[in-house]
Structure 1
Amino acid sequence: MKQKTNWPVTILIALGSLFIFLPLYIAVSIALKTPAELADSVFALPLGFHFENFANAIEATNFFAAFKNSAIITIVTVVFTILTNSLVAYAIARNMHRKFFKGLYYYFVSALFIPFPIIMLPLVKQTSALGMDNPGGLIFLYIVYGAALNIFIYVGYIRSIPMELEEAAIVDGCSTWGVFWKVIFPLLSPINATVGILTCLWAWNDFMLPLIILNDPADATLPLVQYVFQGQFSTDFNLAFASYLLALSPMVIVYIMAQKWIIGGVVRGAIK
């Protein structure tokens, strides 16, 4: 029997694809055009592929220095986020029957509902007073602010792991630390991947925290150096979009390769 086409769903998928690919086409097209071609039409195909726009954008933004800053901040943030947040979540998950740990869990989750603009100005003043207006302070804030969502995800997953595995390890002579690192942590691989990827995307693409925290222009990350194209009266849109594509490309590759971990891990973590 011939399957009937679901036209409403097909039309919605087509429209959704159009909304996704049209901005991408415009971005790539603008990045490969000259200013004269942009003046004629934004939507038209470029008459030639002006790859020199990418070289000029790299020079204008000191791209590789900013790339190094973003890479260091992102990698260190991901590593320490996984190590610290998983430990805290394990302690909470295995002690949810105690009022203190249950209250601590809801305390962390409640942070998800606090808008960032409310704490932005006090944050700037406090980090400046403590000498944390540098990449080290920025990394610390990423770890702290990411804890709310990460602990929510970790706790749900850890509670689904049978206690019998830990009891057997304790009988074999493992300490609490040994149980976590030898038994629990290896089982957290799917959630570790999810948390790592989400943290990576956030730390790499974030603009607001580096803008208000970093004091030295030499520490600027990739999102910050895009400011170089925001002139008072004019903008080199072709160079700007070339720079945007250069900054976005590493994370696009990461997301395409790891999207199954993101979706699967979030679902697993939110089940229980």
Structure 2
Amino acid sequence: MKTKKPLPLLTVLVYLFVIAGTLVIAFPLYITFVTAFKTLDESARSFFSLPSGLYLGNFAAVVSDEYFRNYIANSIGVTAGAVGIIAVFIPMVSYAISRNMQRSRYYRFLYIYFILGVFVPFQVFMVPLTQMMTKFGLLSQVGLVLCYVAFGLCEGVFLYVGYLKSIPLEIEEAATIDGCNTVQTFFKIVYPISKPMTATVIILDTLWVWNDFLLPVLMLNRSPKNWTLPLYQYNFKSAHMFRYNLAFAAFLFSIVPMILLYAFLQRYIIEGLTAGAVKT
């Protein structure tokens, strides 16, 4: 009878690390969910226990805020505007770079320039950016969308260029022979083939823009009417106390759509990130 060999120490440590990481992620989600469905008295008695029932008064109080629908509309508008432009503009830029960087120093420099932007912390240019946008009168949702598009270029170009290099050039040559110009070749041939990467960029940037706090607090904090949901949650305070139950209910309105989006579309992220890993 064969005896089972004990797991190697490294394997045990890896499992412990994974379990610890899961708990670190799951515990704040647990607190958010249970607190959102508790009354104030229940939270005062035990902050970590399960609620006695599904109390929906916190959600009703959040929805009754006269500006709440405006906050949701602001978040949807900024996210849809930024991601929509990113989904079209960045593939076009990446296509031009990927097809010309081998024979043009300009495009190689442009690619390296975008890649270097990934390594520059936002805090380095936070103050100059705010001053510039103030001077141009763009401390608004329009200016915020432009900033998201500019910042999305760095990571987006890095992902797209690697993916586009895996697309055989023979497909584009065949389109050229059939009479397609460069624009037609891109939108009729290359862009549809790039669907996995496009879906990946859309999902990643949607999660980023929807949940971002730092840029909105710099550009939209002048008037509550311009707030997005993260700003609304940050400023969700009364004059004398922090209303945890209402705050966590507001958090759920923000995180649940993104959790569902990621749960249903995460396969596109894996497919898009691995599709250009090997050139065929």
Residue-by-residue CA offset, 1:77-117 (whole Å, 9 max, x unaligned)? 11110111000000000011111111110000000111111
Aligned position for 1:199: 205
TM-align CA RMSD:
2.1
Find the partner of 2:154 among 148, 154, 171: 148
Structure 1 residues not aligned, in runs of 5+: none
In structure 1, distance between residues paired with 2:139 and 2:186: 34
Q: 1:55 to 1:228 in 2, by over 3 A?
A: farther
Find the partner of 2:195 among 189, 195, 208: 189
Q: TM-score, normalised by structure 1?
A: 0.92
The 3-state SS of whatever aligns with 1:161 is coil
Q: Give the aligned residue type for 2:27.
A: L
Q: CA deviation at 1:118?
A: 1.1
Query: Does residue 258 in structure 1 map to residue 265 in structure 2?
Result: yes
In structure 2, distance between residues paired with 1:209 and 1:220: 11
Contact kept in structure 1, 2:67 and 2:225, CA below 8 Å: no
In structure 2, distance between residues paired with 1:270 and 1:150: 15
Aligned position for 1:94: 99
Query: Does residue 129 in structure 1 map to residue 146 in structure 2?
Result: no
Query: Does residue 79 in structure 1 map to residue 87 in structure 2?
Result: no
Q: CA deviation at 1:72?
A: 1.1
Aligned position for 1:55: 60
Structure 2 residues not aligned, in runs of 5+: none
The 3-state SS of whatever aligns with 1:174 is coil
Q: Give the aligned residue type for 1:212.
A: L
Aligned position for 1:37: 42
Contact kept in structure 2, 1:61 and 1:228, CA below 8 Å: no
- Report the count of equivalent residues: 272
In structure 2, distance between residues paired with 1:177 and 1:82: 16
Find the partner of 1:180 among 179, 186, 196: 186
Q: CA deviation at 1:13?
A: 4.4
Aligned position for 1:68: 73
Q: TM-score, normalised by structure 2?
A: 0.90
In structure 1, distance between residues paired with 2:66 and 2:251: 11
Contact kept in structure 2, 1:61 and 1:226, CA below 8 Å: no
Aligned position for 1:19: 24
Contact kept in structure 2, 1:155 and 1:269, CA below 8 Å: no
Q: CA deviation at 1:38?
A: 1.7
Query: Does residue 212 in structure 1 map to residue 225 in structure 2?
Result: no
In structure 2, distance between residues paired with 1:116 and 1:202: 14
Q: 1:270 to 1:123 in 2, by over 3 A?
A: farther
Find the partner of 1:237 among 228, 231, 244: 244
Q: 1:54 to 1:5 in 2, by over 3 A?
A: farther
Instruction: Report percent identity of matched pairs.
Output: 40
Q: 1:111 to 1:12 in 2, by over 3 A?
A: closer
Query: Does residue 170 in structure 1 map to residue 191 in structure 2?
Result: no
Farther off after superposition, 156-165 or 261-270? 261-270
Residue-by-residue CA offset, 1:121-177 (whole Å, 9 max, x unaligned)? 111111111111111111111001010000000000111111111111111111111
More helix by share: 1
